[in-house]
Structure 1
Amino acid sequence: MATADASGPLARVREYPRATVAVVSVIGYAAVIGTFAGVFPIFPDLTRGQVNLLSHAIAVVNTVTTVTIALGWYWIRRGEVRRHAAAMGTSFGLILVFLVMYLLKVGGGPGEKRIVIESGMFLGAFAGTVEAVYLAMLAIHILLSVVSVPVVLYAITLAATHSVEELRTETPHRKIGRIAAGSWLVSLTLGVVTYVLLNWVYAYEFVEVSY
């Protein structure tokens, strides 16, 4: 966290943080939507086994990210700014790793995995209710993943272009950071929970999806 040089590359970002966040957010949304729509024929065809490996890797990355965000939150509450900054910077880097793997899985995968709950499985007698809860958690996870993007980017942008003192006195970084970290944590936690339910507690099937 440091003040950007008035003539350096971060000067424009510092001057127009919201515009910067808007541009980056649009690019990110376009990349994800374009991948789902199949307009980027740049991904290799993946087997179901490779998709599963990516799913496991993504879950590991998301779990580690959850821990680093929680640590960052804990450290800033104790006034340990450097540790907080390192934890949040690490979290942001891990999210970029997640994004690459996620786009690869979606763009090259043979279809979408859908949960299958049968009698004899855990709470199999309540399959309808369990599936509804699973889908609700998945929907909240996806929604928070989408809406938290500009909030997280805004918090990161402010942190990258201002000193610690400026963040405290001249920017809404503290408030924005709380919203970003909170929504990020809930989204990641629900993502990991739904991953466990889909891949380890219940069964799944691959379904071809046309967007």
Structure 2
Amino acid sequence: MQQMVKRNVPAVTAVLSIVSLALVFGAARQLIPKSLLPAAPDWLVSAIPHVNAVISVVAVVVILAGLRAIKQDRWDRHRKLMGTGVVLFVIFLALYLYKVALKGPNTFPGSGVAELAYLAILAIHMILAIACIPLLYYVLLLAVTRPMSELSETVHPKIGRIAAPLWLISFVLGTVVYVMLYLVPASAY
């Protein structure tokens, strides 16, 4: 299986990206039947945004540490940190999709300039998150199908230099969206 993936990284990336984006858009549009989802108490579903905010902040720290490790030629540390970042992203995404599939997307409580700012930040966050999915799959598949000594001969470093900052910005903007939705009182808008 690993050899097949190694020979077909672009095709496997495309398939995984399409499936992932279909799940994201299906959840956001509430096309996934709720009967397929496990039931959870309201308090648990309500806690998901707060848990995801913590995951996002931890992911930013982990990704920054991973970038620092690779600049110091600490390849094993880089691999572990970026793998941890991917695991955090998967947990974040699973929780987010579960909540959105059950409850739908949140609406911003404000209007006017505050709402325009929120929508602009949300749009940039979403565009970056969508763009990151194939980039992350690509560098991840290259990393898991090759020994570290071969990665420098692939496009992994080049695509990683693009994917990592976009991933970071997406996580940071997602945290800003969280703050605007959950921490700033609606009366402030």
TM over 0.5: yes
Q: What is the DSSP-based 3-state SS (H/G/I as helix, E as strand, rest coil) of the residue aligned with 1:115?
A: coil
Percent of aligned pairs sharing the same letter = 37
Q: Which residue of 1 aligns with 2:160?
A: 177
1:79-137 CA distances to partner (integer Å, 9 max, x unpaired)? 1111110000000011111121011101112x4322224xxxxxxxxx62222112111
Q: Which residue of 2 aligns with 1:146?
A: 130
1:153-184 CA distances to partner (integer Å, 9 max, x unpaired)? 10101111112221112x11101011111110
2:15 equivalent to 1:23: yes
TM-score when normalising by structure 1: 0.81
Q: Which residue of 2 aligns with 1:61?
A: 55
1:127-149 CA distances to partner (integer Å, 9 max, x unpaired)? 62222112111110011111110
Q: Which residue of 1 aligns with 2:184?
A: 201
Q: Which residue of 2 aligns with 1:115?
A: 108
Q: What is the DSSP-based 3-state SS (H/G/I as helix, E as strand, rest coil) of the residue aligned with 2:32?
A: coil
Which of 1 and 2 has greater Rg? 1
Q: Which residue of 1 aligns with 2:67?
A: 73
The answer (yes or no) to whether the contact 1:45–1:108 under 8 Å persists in 2 is no
Q: Which sections of structure 2, spanning at least 5 residues, go unmatched?
A: none
Q: What is the DSSP-based 3-state SS (H/G/I as helix, E as strand, rest coil) of the residue aligned with 2:94?
A: helix
2:168 equivalent to 1:168: no
Q: Structure 1 residues 48, 139: closer, same or farther in 2, change over 3 A?
A: farther
CA offset at residue 30 of structure 1?
A: 1.8
Answer 1 or 2: which has greater strand percent: 1
How many residues get paired? 185
Question: C-alpha separation between the residues in 2 aligned to 1:150 and 1:66?
Answer: 19
The answer (yes or no) to whether the contact 1:142–1:187 under 8 Å persists in 2 is yes
CA offset at residue 14 of structure 1?
A: 0.5
TM-score when normalising by structure 2: 0.90
The answer (yes or no) to whether the contact 1:22–1:150 under 8 Å persists in 2 is yes
- Structure 1 ranges of 4+ moved more than 3 A: 44-51
CA offset at residue 62 of structure 1?
A: 1.2
Name the Cα RMSD after superposition. Answer: 1.8
Q: Which residue of 2 aligns with 1:4?
A: none
Q: Which residue of 1 aligns with 2:175?
A: 192
Q: Which residue of 1 aligns with 2:33?
A: 40
Q: Which sections of structure 1, spanning at least 5 residues, go unmatched?
A: 1-8, 118-126, 205-211
The answer (yes or no) to whether the contact 2:32–2:101 under 8 Å persists in 1 is no
Letter in 2 for 1:115: F
Q: Which residue of 2 aligns with 1:99?
A: 93
Question: C-alpha separation between the residues in 1 aligned to 2:167 and 2:92?
Answer: 13
The answer (yes or no) to whether the contact 1:34–1:40 under 8 Å persists in 2 is no
Letter in 1 for 2:168: L
